[in-house]
Structure 1
Amino acid sequence: MRRTASGSGRTLTMNIGTRVALAVAAAAVTMGAATGLLVHRVTAADQLGAARTALDERLTSAAHDYATAGTSPARLNPPDLPRPVADAVRGRQRVTYLQDGAHPVLWAAIRVSDRDVLVLSRSYVPEIRALATLDRTFTLVGGIAIVVVSLAGLFLGVRMGRRATVAAQTAERIANGDLDARIRPDGRDEIARLAASVNTMADALWARLQAERRVTADIAHELRTPVASMSTAVGLLPSGPVTDLLKGSVHNLRGLVEDVLEVARMDARAAVVETEQRQVSAMARRAVAGVEDARVRVVREAVVTTDPRRVERILANLAANALRHGAPPVVLEVDGPVVRVRDHGPGFPADLFAVLHTSGPQRFRTTAPGTGTGLGLAIAAGQTRLLGARLTFRNHPEGGAEAILGLPEDTAPKRHGSSSDGFVPQP
């Protein structure tokens, strides 16, 4: 059954959510400010126009009364007439003027003779107060609308960010080898399309990998019988240089076939882990028994519950890889449940070291052509996963490549007083 990815990544979600919320808020503020300014200007212009028209009509009526009856509610030549009004009315028959200030006044003036000017005025404060009330109302309503729209934008951005993060995390899991990971479909937008594309890619990758694994396993099974026959036939040949060469080649071929079969079993998850309690140092010594350039150094002893055959296979592969690509001596340092396998060569090349830290050991990848099949580290990594252990790689500060195998510890470690290879235990 395939697992469906869920969850959220805080960094990506907050980034997208914040950006969307800020963009929506900025758009809302800009739209609200532009609309408020436009409404303010239009309302102010309408108010002033209406006030000018009304006062001008009153002035016209007052001028008619003055002309017919000699009396009028308007003032004649008032001393407080603003100079702009006085100047303007000399060149025109009738003018209106808004005098700004703390108490604005609207003026209307008409010339009734060469020297006389009839004037009406009234306070413009009511219109100013009405406009201020409109501005406050619009600001309050606009502010509430901006908050609501921004919260909606934040919700949308966070939701988009979470979905995008799930897609990214699932793609990373697939890249790291979890081909069962899938994204739960949600919606019909571009992110949902991205999720469907990731799922389709994972399905295609899974099918292709399964086909390659079947081909690899079939080839290894088919080769096992003829290789066994070749090994038997070579054993019947008379001794000699040619026979020794053939025996070595057949032995290497047989080992390669067994390695491929082991990889196929791990891929098919058919490997069975049989655990028992063992000393870590004992497994390390068995792993390199008979290897002249490999030595075991015990700093701290520990007993672990694990599959000893697989642990020994891991350590043997690591030691063989160190001897093949590094330089002797190869030292297996036992420090409790941790075993460090170090050679004294130039260390991991930069490109291989980057691959080991990102995607782990890759099959059929070696440091140089013709130096091996590249299955040793891949098998060691696969066995490590089966055991629930941890395998890391680094270049030792004092030189050489180092692989570190960490096993789960069962009992309290005990100090080891001496080692069989002449190394002095470190405190």
Structure 2
Amino acid sequence: MTLGNRVALAGGAVVFAALLLASLIIYPSLSASLHHQHDSVLITAADKDASKLLAGFKTKMQALEREGTPLTAPTSPVTIGSTQLQFIVPPVASGTEGDFIPVTAKDVQVARGAAPAYFQDAAFKGVNYRVYTAPLAGWNGALVRALIPQSVVDSTLGPLAVMLIVITACGTLLAVLGARLVAGRVLRPVRRLTETVEHVTATQDLTPRIDVRGRDEIARLAGSFAAMMTAVEESVRAQRQLVADASHELRTPLTSITTNLELLSEGPGVADPQAPALVEQARTQAEELRSLVNNLVELARFGQQDAHTEDIRLDLLTERVVARTARRSPQVALRTDLSACMVHADPDALERAVGNLVDNAVKWSPAGGQVLVAVFPDGTVTVTDEGPGIPAADLPFVFDRFYRSPTARALPGSGLGLAIVKQVAETHGGTVATEPLNQGLRMRLSLPAAP
């Protein structure tokens, strides 16, 4: 079942419940009101109409008595308007049969004034009646019954019940149809979003977008989807570029290693006088290949998982990195200016980033040159070398993956060291920057300082 149909059914169910509840309230209320009105009519008939009718009978009785002809009040129900009246003259005795329902002991009590008037429902000759029994005013010991057929009330309640049923059914049907039309319009962006997702799944094309205006949840969903697609597209593009660049960079050392091994396998092999040089070249290329693979692994790891972070003394970490680099590169003098500074970061990632900055400065520094490494209290590390610097045209790209300026292609490296520095900085909410000098270059890594 589609979402639109479920919304339509839900809307219809709500309207049906509301109409059903209203019907269950209206019908009993009107039924009670009608019965109360008819009961009031019966009371009026037993009081006023019976008195008028009795007065007329008394006048006739007096006239006939003067003529010597006796006349008694009628015991059969007499129709007056919509009601009927029955007179029961004294002596009122229990069990007396008449032209209507029998007299009961309660009727006898009412006639004597020992019990109040009362209502009852009774059946006579297949007809249901509403009966009001009361003492007959102006005639001691007599009773009057006012009665009305129940069909008078039922004739009103029956059509009312049918009308409520029809209203409930039609209202529910209209609600379902209306909700379906509205759901179709409201969910149109969702349908477009679904079609876009299916298109992306089928074609792997990440360019489609949907434009939904507004500030409701569906518009926010469409906006989130568009942002997600943009991020995914950028991620896929970066991955493809990374694979392409990595393939290109891996091809060179692998080709060199393969060539050297083929040369060693031909002729006298390791007995060849050139064998040591070929082996050394293969080892150098293997080292570059290992470094490239390690850099790729580090580049893929930073920012892709929750790293362990802690408060670190940035000055002490930098001091360790400088000491290690000084042992490996004695041809360059490393000087430090370290101020106490605390940052909250991944210690391994931060040490790798600072190490890459220092290694890059050492690589570009001439023999006997100096590299100054400084740490500032605000969480900034600067590495200043005395190398040839970087051309202005290459400055915007020095932190890009696999980017190597034309002057750097003859030197060892993969073009990933500074990219790792940038990713570590951004992962920790920091920045990296380059500052050209008259002689050399200063690179700056800035991280938020911990309290």
TM-score (norm 2): 0.43
- State which structure, 1 or 2, has the greater radius of gyration over its C-alpha atoms: 2
TM-score (norm 1): 0.45
Select the structure with the greater relative contact order (CA < 8 A; seq sep ≥ 6). 1
